[in-house]
Structure formats: structure tokens, C-alpha cells
A and B are shown apart, each in its own frame.
Chain A
Amino acid sequence: MPEALRADAVTKVYGQGANAVTAVNQVSFSVMPGEFVALVGPSGSGKTTLLAMLAGLLSPTDGEILIGGEPLGEFSEAQRTRFRGRAIGFSFQSNNLVPYLTALENVELMLRLNGRLDRAGRVRSRELLERLGLAERMRAYPGQLSGGQQQRVAIARALIHQPSVVLADEPTASLDTERAYQVVETFAHLIHEQERAGVMVTHDLRMVKYVDRVIQMMDGHLSQIISDRAEIDALAAIQSGPLETSAGATQAQGGDNGNGDGT
């Protein structure tokens, strides 16, 4: 099976001359359909910059990104925008949903953007939201949804148009632990089931227990790729211990979003 996403010696340098900063340095990896990969690393390690390049939102200084075998660098700006709408599914950390569209309309938006919202598309949108436990909240606006519900709507939107690649930027940043596990578990399940290539940027290592591979970044370099199940689980377990502190910030942020997320 051909890889869905490939990064080939990708480098991103910001600034010029003496002020030049290399945010991403010679990173290469690929993701197969049906594979869920976590991109982890401390702040400033270059993981978000790498994600932006994978999404075609940022052009690499050097190297190449291929999605479904198509090199993003060969598209014009407008073509890249259209390509993103068709081949990539997104979930962002904040400002995820369109505030003036209902949950269902936000999901259908991806089909509209691709110019094909037919009856079957409407039915699939509803079914996907139902599977994500949002049957009762389809007509609600994002402002009326809890953080976890919003994140689940975003997952539905990222998958509805059957993209080859699904990219998620910190999907659990504003959720409490329980909701975060639920959201990532559902995400992983759908990615495996629908055979999408999933990449999730996260600084919360507890979430890696649902992924197939962990790519660790450090100072712009790809420092480590962990594919062994036992090793991944061990990594997740360290962070989930009773004395862990690094996820504390995440929890404090998301603590009050858990209420009302019980549908």
C-alpha cells in the first residue's frame, strides 16, 4: 500500500543571515493509511511548524511534502487551498468551528466547500455526529456546546469528506482528562476504521496510548520514532502516574469545560 503522507528531508528556516532560525531540520517520515501518529515534543521543538508544512499552510525552505503521492510544492496558492479542502481533514486547538453554523452545518461545510452536499452527504453527516454521541446537539451552535462536544464536532468535520490525511493540533488542550481520553480514543478508532492517515500534535504524552507510532521532536530534529506497542504504552504510563505534573497545566485549563459534557 502506498503511503498517504510523506515528509522528505523537510527543513524550515525563519529569517535570514545571522538572524536565521532553523525551526525544522531535515525531518523525514511517512504515514500509511489507517495509521495514527502522534507528533510530540516540548514547546519550540518545531512540531507545529512541521504540522503547518504537512497541511500545505507553510512552504518548506527545503525538502518536500507529498500527500497521496502529490508534491504540495508544485501547487499554486489557490490550488493548494482547494487541495486542502479535498484531501486534508483538520481539527484545531482553538477557533475550531464556524460560530454561526450549527454542529451539523459545521460538518456539512466540508462537503459544501468541495461542492457536493447531496442527500447522501447530509445523511452521512448526521450519522457521524450520532456516532460521536451528538445526536441531541446537532442543531446547537458552537457557543452552546462544551469543549469536548466542540472537539467531537471538529473530528466529524475532519473526517466527513473522506480525506486521505487527517491533521489534529492539540485536540485535547482544553479538555479534562476523562474527556481528553474519550475524544482521542474516538478519533483513533475512526482513523483506523476509515483508513485515514492521522497525525496529532500533542504535548500531553498520556494521549499517545491510542496511537500507533510516536514521533518525537527536539530542537527541530526528529529525535526518536517509537513504534513498539509496549514502549508507547510505557511512555503514556509515565505521564499518567499519580505524581505526574506535566499534564497539570492541561487539566487546570480544561477543568471547567467538563461540565455539561455528559450527553
Chain B
Amino acid sequence: MAFYLSFKEIWHSKGRYLLIAMIVALITTLVLFIAALSEGLGSGNREYLEKLNGELVVFQENVDLSIGASRIGRSKLNAIRRVEGVADAGQVANSSVSVVVAGRDPIDVSLFGVEPGRPGEPPAFEGRNLGRARANEVVIDERLVRLTGLAVGDTLTVRSIQGTNEEFYDLAIVGTTDGRAYFIQPGIFVPYLTFEKVKPQGENEQGGNGEYVSNIVAVKLVDPAQIDVMAEQLETLVGGIEAVDRKTAYEAAPGYSAQMSTLSTQRYFTFLIGVLVVGGFFQIQTLQKVAQVGMLKAIGASNRTVALSAIAQIVTLNALGVALGTAGSLALSLTFPPAVPITFTGDAVASAVIALMVIGPLGGLVSVFLLLRVEPLVALGLAQ
């Protein structure tokens, strides 16, 4: 009965109801794109650290977990390796360089110097892993493959600024890996001594105490469950370092938390707008129908029928809008160039869709209460 009335009414005012479904669809699109942007930007910022094949990331002490500011020498690395419970450790140096591709603007990438075969080096999915520590080889992020069309066997030209000079290096692409971006730049991986040539660290250039210096150390533990204990142990035994898990490490990246909280604020406000828009629409609808609903109640329609009919309408329109919006967003996302940091993940889409399915009923609650309060007496013109 309730469903009969609700669908007859929707069918009779198709245009009006389609309009509100379209609004829900647009809100859905907005929410999904914000979620995808947040996912895309977030993973572009943290991907390398998130997928690191080690449980702990070691920084220099008192640098606020900044990779750029952190310096860890070879002697500290050796001390870390000697700590009981450490399975392996690899040094990681990071800097920003440009990849020069004929016929287009240079692409900024995150250059990582890693130790072949040690934590910090990503596995090559295509081609092979890095070989010797001095080889002029590079493993590149699949994002760079998509951006430039470069493939295993090609030569990659890197432009690096050393002091005030531009230097160019040719590196042979020996492998590609999955998304390993850092700082919204695709990652490229070279052996650490090659890194030293491309982007010498100041300390190494001046000699310092003569040891090789990197930025951070990736540590793989014998027992990954002992992460907290081991972090403390490392800090005590080695000294002058700070060991944190991967999540703490990427959340400390400059601007990361601020960016994520801005995006989630936007998402919550979009939800709120959705609740208000759907609520407002149905409330106006309800106020227009007071006389009609009074008549229905007078001729014997129960409160249950009237309320259920309204809820069915709200849920139907909301679901229709969300479905249209989701399909539209996914279709639209296929047309985006790979440079746009938008990533639709199943989890993010599913949780956004579930939240969106709730906004309609939430917004419609007020109108359902209004409907319940309509008195059948209005049919005789005797009540408000």
C-alpha cells in the first residue's frame, strides 16, 4: 500500500523527483571526487613509505621526522644492523630531480638512493632489481611509465642541480615497480653510490668524517610484532636517532596531515549539504501535501502507511541519485589524464557510498515527523 502510493507519486511527478535525484547525484560525484583526490594526494605523498619493506623507519634525532633534514651516517647504520632483533637495514637517500624527456616539459621525480638487496629497495615487477652499488641503473615507478611511455631497456636522462650547475646523467632502466611516489612525485630508484654522483649530499662532498651519509634507514625486524619494543631499543642502543613505524613517518611528512584534514573537512561538509538539501526538498514537498495527507488519513490511511510511503520515496530517490552519481564519477574518472592525482579505491568508494545512502533518510526524518503530525481533520478544513 505504502509502496504503491509512493511510486505512483514519484511517477506522476517524474520531473521534480528526477531533479532532486540529480542533485543527489552531483553531491555524490563531489563526495567521490574529494575522496579520490584525498586518496590520490595521500598515497602520492606516502606511497613509498607506506609500501616500504621494513617495519621501522629511522631518522636523525630532533629533525621532526623530516627526511630532507635527517642525516644518518654509515657508522650509525652499522650500529643499527648490530642490534639484536634487526633482520636487515638499508640506507635510503632522497632528493628531487627532473627527468628530461624529448618533446615535453621535464618531469619532477623523487630520486631514491637505495642499497640493492636491502630494505628500502622496491621489488621490480617488470625487468630486474638493481644490481651493483655503482651501476648506472634505475628502477622506475609505473606512474612514470604512464606519464612518459618509457620502458625497460630505455635510457632515462636525469637533470640534477649541483650547486648552481645543471648536470645531466643517463641511466639505464632495468625495471619498473608499482606506485612508489613520494611528495606527489613518482619515485625512481638508483643504487646509493650512483645517487651520490647524481645528487651529492653536502656532508659527503666536504668529506665530513669521511663516511657515507644518507637520509633515513629502513629497518626490517626479525619479529614484526615487536615494533614498539624494537623502536625503543634502537634509540637506546644506537643513540642520536629516532625510530618510528611507517605510518608515523608518512604522517609527519610536511603538509600531509593538514592536507588530509582539509579534505576530510570538505567531505563532511558536502555530506552536511546533502542532508540539508534532501531534507529541505522533502520538507517543502510535505508542507505542500498537508491537505492531501489529511484526506488520506481521513479515508483510512494509517500513520504507518503515510510514513512508510514517504520513507520509500526518500530512499528510492537517494539510491537513484547515488547510483547515477557513482556511475557518472567512475566514468568521468576514466577520462582524467594520469597526472591528476585521483585514485578511486574500492574501500573509499564503498564507504562514501554507504555514507551517502544515509544522507537522504537523515534529511527526510523531519518531513516524516511532519507527516505523522498531520491531522485527518484538515480534510474538513477544521484544523491546521
**Residues in chain A within 8 A of chain B (CB atoms):** 48-49, 51-52, 55, 57-58, 78, 81-82, 84-86, 88, 90, 92-96, 98-101, 105, 109-110, 112-115, 141, 157, 169
- Cβ-defined contact, A55 with B298, below 8 A: yes
B149 interface contact, C-beta 8 A: no
Name A157's closest neighbour in chain B (CB-CB): B299
Chain B residues 347 to 384 lying within 8 A of chain A, measured CB to CB, are: 375-377, 379-382
B102 interface contact, C-beta 8 A: no
Among candidates B9, B295, B301, B379, residue contacting A113 with C-beta atoms closer than 8 Å: B301
B292 interface contact, C-beta 8 A: yes
Q: Which 7 A-B pairs have the closest CB atoms?
A: A85-B300, A100-B12, A95-B291, A100-B9, A113-B300, A84-B300, A57-B377
Name A23's closest neighbour in chain B (CB-CB): B382
B11 interface contact, C-beta 8 A: yes
Chain B residues 38 to 61 lying within 8 A of chain A, measured CB to CB, are: none
- Cβ-defined contact, A78 with B300, below 8 A: no
- A58-B12 CB under 8 A given contacts A84-B300, A86-B300, A95-B292: no
- Cβ-defined contact, B299 with A84, below 8 A: yes
B146 interface contact, C-beta 8 A: no
Q: What 17 additional pairs, Cβ within 8 angstroms, besides A57-B298, A88-B300?
A: A48-B382, A57-B382, A58-B382, A81-B302, A81-B303, A82-B300, A85-B299, A90-B379, A92-B295, A95-B294, A95-B295, A95-B379, A96-B295, A98-B296, A99-B292, A100-B8, A100-B9
B335 interface contact, C-beta 8 A: no
- Cβ-defined contact, A78 with B12, below 8 A: no
Q: Which residues of B contact A48 (CB under 8 A)?
A: 380-382
Q: Which residues of B contact A115 (CB under 8 A)?
A: 1
Name A49's closest neighbour in chain B (CB-CB): B382
Q: Which residues of B contact A52 (CB under 8 A)?
A: 377, 380, 382
Q: Which residues of A contact B379 (CB under 8 A)?
A: 57, 90, 92, 95
CB distance from A159 to the nearest CB of B (A): 12
Q: Which residues of B contact A49 (CB under 8 A)?
A: 382
Name B299's closest neighbour in chain A (CB-CB): A90
Most buried by B among A51, A82, A92: A92
B13 interface contact, C-beta 8 A: yes
B297 interface contact, C-beta 8 A: yes
Q: Which residues of A contact B302 (CB under 8 A)?
A: 78, 81-82
Distance of A113 Cα from B376 Cα, bound (Å): 15
- Cβ-defined contact, A90 with B12, below 8 A: no
- A92-B380 CB under 8 A given contacts A98-B292, A100-B11, A100-B12: yes
Distance of A96 Cα from B11 Cα, bound (Å): 20
Q: Which residues of B contact A93 (CB under 8 A)?
A: 380-381
Distance of A81 Cα from B295 Cα, bound (Å): 12
Distance of A82 Cα from B295 Cα, bound (Å): 14
B4 interface contact, C-beta 8 A: yes
Q: How many A-B residue pairs have CB under 8 A?
A: 84
Can you report 29 residue pairs joining A to B where beta carbons are below 8 Å apart? A52-B380, A55-B298, A55-B380, A57-B382, A58-B382, A81-B297, A82-B302, A84-B298, A84-B376, A85-B300, A85-B301, A88-B300, A90-B295, A90-B298, A90-B379, A92-B298, A93-B380, A94-B291, A95-B291, A96-B295, A98-B5, A100-B13, A101-B8, A105-B8, A110-B299, A112-B4, A113-B301, A114-B300, A115-B1
Count of B interface residues, CB-CB < 8 Å = 28
Q: Which residues of B contact A78 (CB under 8 A)?
A: 302-303
Name B4's closest neighbour in chain A (CB-CB): A112
- A81-B291 CB under 8 A given contacts A51-B380, A57-B377, A57-B380: no
Q: Which residues of A contact B9 (CB under 8 A)?
A: 100
Q: Which residues of A contact B295 (CB under 8 A)?
A: 90, 92, 95-96, 98
Distance of A82 Cα from B299 Cα, bound (Å): 9
Q: Which residues of A contact B376 (CB under 8 A)?
A: 57, 81, 84
Distance of A78 Cα from B295 Cα, bound (Å): 16
Q: Which residues of B contact A57 (CB under 8 A)?
A: 298, 375-377, 379-380, 382
- A112-B300 CB under 8 A given contacts A48-B381, A99-B292: no
Name A114's closest neighbour in chain B (CB-CB): B300
Distance of A114 Cα from B301 Cα, bound (Å): 9
- Cβ-defined contact, B12 with A141, below 8 A: yes
Distance of A58 Cα from B377 Cα, bound (Å): 7
Distance of A109 Cα from B292 Cα, bound (Å): 14
Q: Which residues of A contact B1 (CB under 8 A)?
A: 112-113, 115
Distance of A82 Cα from B303 Cα, bound (Å): 11
Most buried by A among B291, B295, B299, B379: B299
Q: Which residues of B contact A101 (CB under 8 A)?
A: 8
Distance of A112 Cα from B334 Cα, bound (Å): 48
CB distance from A199 to the nearest CB of B (A): 13
Q: Which residues of A contact B5 (CB under 8 A)?
A: 98
Chain B residues 271 to 306 lying within 8 A of chain A, measured CB to CB, are: 291-292, 294-303, 305
Name A93's closest neighbour in chain B (CB-CB): B381
Chain B residues 1 to 20 lying within 8 A of chain A, measured CB to CB, are: 1, 4-5, 8-9, 11-13
Name A113's closest neighbour in chain B (CB-CB): B300
Distance of A216 Cα from B199 Cα, bound (Å): 106
Name A78's closest neighbour in chain B (CB-CB): B302
CB distance from B351 to the nearest CB of A (A): 36
